[in-house]
Amino acid sequence: MNYITDNPNTTLTDGMHLMVDALKRNGVDTIYGVVGIPVTDLARHAQEVGIRYIGFRHEQSAGNAAAISGYLTKKPGICLTVSAPGFLNGLTALAAATTNGFPMIQISGSSDRNIIDLAQGDYEGLDQMNVAKPFAKAAYRINRPEDIAVGVARAIRTAMSGRPGGVYLDITTAMLSTSMDAQAAADSLFVPVDPAPKQYPCSGSVKRALKLLSSAKKPLIILGKGAAYAQADEQVRTFVEKTGIPFLPMSMAKGLLPDDHPQCAASARSLVLGQADVVMLIGARLNWLLTHGKGKKWNPSVQFIQLDIEPEEMDSNRPIAAPVVGDIESSLDVLIAKMDNFAIQCPKEWRDAIDAVKQTNAVKMQAKLTTPTSPMNYFNALKAVSDVMQDYRDIYVVNEGANALDDTRNVISMYHPRLRLDTGTWGVMGIGMGYAIAAAVTSGKQVIAIEGDSAFGFSGMEVETICRYRLPITIVVLNNGGIYRGNDPNLGGDPDPSPTTLTPDARYDKMMEAFGGVAYHVTTPDEVRTALTAALASKKPSLINCIIDPAVGTESGHIGNLNPKSVASPQPLQGGVTQKA
Ligand code: OXT
Ligand code: ADP
Ligand code: MG
């Protein structure tokens, strides 16, 4: 139903109704948000016209849901917030979406300009558009109903085009209640044409890239989440398989090609980074996750080819010998069409060397997975999860924590594109429930969220949201009673817990029980297996609280090296505890 066109007797409309009509006209089918003054009626009216509204307990989760729905659908996810505090609660997710390159629009109600601009102290008054600017790809404000169509179109085009990102759209209280002739309002609406146009690379850049690749003795392809976002799955597969070059998937690119693909080098990471002479980055940045392309992890004379839609990304960390600027689908189409003119091959000795390390690391991993411990550790618990998931290879895996993140990434293999959703470029805790909810809502599929106990706490109240919408989400809390570990002492000797300590053996399962979901409390891998099998079969909201040895976590998971070094105490203050097998 369209409010204006379906109500022929209506001669006047207002900003609120027109805003909803503009969103609907632009294909928005879901809004994630938290309501209050001045956007409550907007959400009600959105539901009235058939837009699904998912109401959260905190705006950060609603924002995270919008962001990941943008990643999964290539259309901006919409987050609706109230003024000042609600707006600020959503802003972290908007900033993270921009950092991750996910298309998202945060639409927020705001106070009247005349009071804000003279700092006269409005209810929840804040100069929101200017606050949002540094955290968003762009920030716009709609001051008059007649500008709604353009405002929405600009927000959509900005969020989707080039490198996608988060856009802030400010809608003032005054604008929402300003009236406008209904026919003129209806006539003003439009849908932007081709908001994320194809961008072909120039042919010289393609030839340069193929020539460099053909000169490689130890070539490597790194697939990033930009390649997953591009949804050029067939092109990626064709290029990788036709060249025979090994590939290393970044975390959210796992599954773009299956982890058990013979060319996957994920379990020989140090070898391939340390020795590759030509590395082709496809939708991956040389940021901290790749130690900026330099340092002891890398072959010092490595040369880079980079496929990216963002020209400014080139040379941001290391000189790029062969930049290919374009969208990944178009770039790969051209590369595939031209590659037969170049003798690209992957030397057998290089493939053999990688296979040898893969085998050695597989044996080491198998030993970790099958060594029984009491209490459980991350590896034997995750082995049970992995066993059950062999029957659920096409469900979403949301993952956050430190050890809970890094160990899951390595143990739980991915087989299909865009199913692994995690903490992303910033390593943000709190994405868990928002991502899980949006994955279930946009796809209708099941989701498993594998969470550290600290990580879960950041968005845990959304368990109520999961139960309210009856979503098929199973949460596995790897509960070691703390941030990294649960057994750190308070160095001051005070009775307070240490900075990393959380409640030992906390019963997170009771939270799920409280809202009507199915709950399990487990202490052995066999119990994990039984509980997860039942939870996934039920398709009901469920939470499995897995008690993990509080002593086994490593400080900051795999990124402990990023903690500042102290001159005064060269050893980590907690005594350098490392993970036991
Ligand atoms: O080749 P080598 O020999 O080197 O071996 C490598 C691979 O080849 C091999 N491998 C395998 N072998 C066999 N089989 C398989 N399948 C296999 N796969 C791989 O294993 C090694 C290692 O491989 P890997 O993992 O690929 O390589 P590496 O070197 O680790 O990769 C580097 C990275 C950087 C690419 C990778 O580690 C990565 O992607 N890391 C992401 C790290 C990250 O983002 N972490 C999250 C942030 S940590 C911290 O900030 C936390 N906080 C603070 C905080 C945050 N973040 N946010 C907010 C809003 N507030 C505060 C907090 C509070 S974490 C955290 C909570 C933690 O507590 P929890 O209770 O939630 O979690 P627990 O830790 O569980 O207690
Ligand atoms: P990862 O963390 O997986 O390494 P990053 O987020 O660092 O990935 O990098 C993703 C890159 O992909 C960004 O530089 C972004 O500009 C680029 N990108 C996103 N979408 C596309 C696309 N459709 N075509 C080309 N490049 C893209
Ligand atoms: Mg923990």
pLDDT tens-digit readout, 410-440: 999 999 999 999 999 999 999 999 999 999 9
Task: Look at domain 3-188 and name its CATH class.
Answer: alpha beta
CATH code: domain 371-554 is 3.40.50.970
pLDDT at 168: 98
Distance 177 CA to ligand 1 centre (A): 49
Across 320-324, average pLDDT: 99
For residue 494, what pLDDT is reported?
85
From 162, 173, 114, select the one nearest 138 (Cα to Cα): 162
- Would you say residue 574 has pLDDT above 80? no
pLDDT band at residue 208, thresholds of 50, 70 and 90? Answer: very high
- pLDDT of 443 > 70? The answer is yes
* pLDDT score at 24: 98
CATH 3.40.50.1220 corresponds to the domain 203-355 = yes
Give per-residue pLDDT as tens, 461-510: 999 999 999 999 999 999 999 999 999 999 999 899 999 999 999 999 99
Q: Which ligand is nearest to the CA of 386?
A: 1
Indicate if the pLDDT at residue 577 is higher than 70: no
Q: Is the CB of 225 under 6 A from ligand 2?
A: yes
- What are the pLDDT digits (tens) for 104-163? 999 999 998 999 999 999 999 999 999 999 999 999 999 999 999 999 999 999 999 999
Q: Which band of pLDDT confidence, cut at 50, 70 and 90, is reported for residue 581?
A: very low
> What residue ranges of the chain are covered by domains with CATH 3.40.50.970?
3-188, 371-554
Which residues of the chain form CATH 3.40.50.1220? 203-355
Assign 567 a pLDDT band (cuts: 50, 70, 90).
confident
Mean pLDDT confidence for 323-348: 97
Residue 580 has pLDDT above 50, yes or no: no
What CA–CA distance (Å, rounded) separates 148 from 137?
19
CB 226 near ligand 2, within 6 Å: yes
CA of 95 to the centre of ligand 1 (A): 22
**Coil vs helix vs strand at 311:** helix
State the pairing for strand pair 179-181/166-172.
unpaired
C-alpha torsion angle, residues 550, 551, 555, 556 (rounded to 10) = -30
Rounded mean pLDDT of 12-27? 98
Mean pLDDT of the chain: 96
| 486: helix, strand or coil | coil
Average pLDDT of the segment spanning 167-189: 97
Q: Render pLDDT for 221-258 as a digit per residue (tens, 0 to 9).
A: 999 999 999 999 999 999 999 999 999 999 999 999 99
pLDDT, residue 3, reads: 59
Contacts of 479 (CB under 8 A, 6+ apart): 453, 505, 506, 508, 545, 546, 547, 548
Ligand 3 centre from 546 Cα, in Å? Answer: 11
Pocket perturbation via mutation, ligand 1, pick of 366, 403, 558, 577 by most ligand atoms within 8 A of CB: 558
- State in Å: Cα 366 to ligand 3 middle: 23
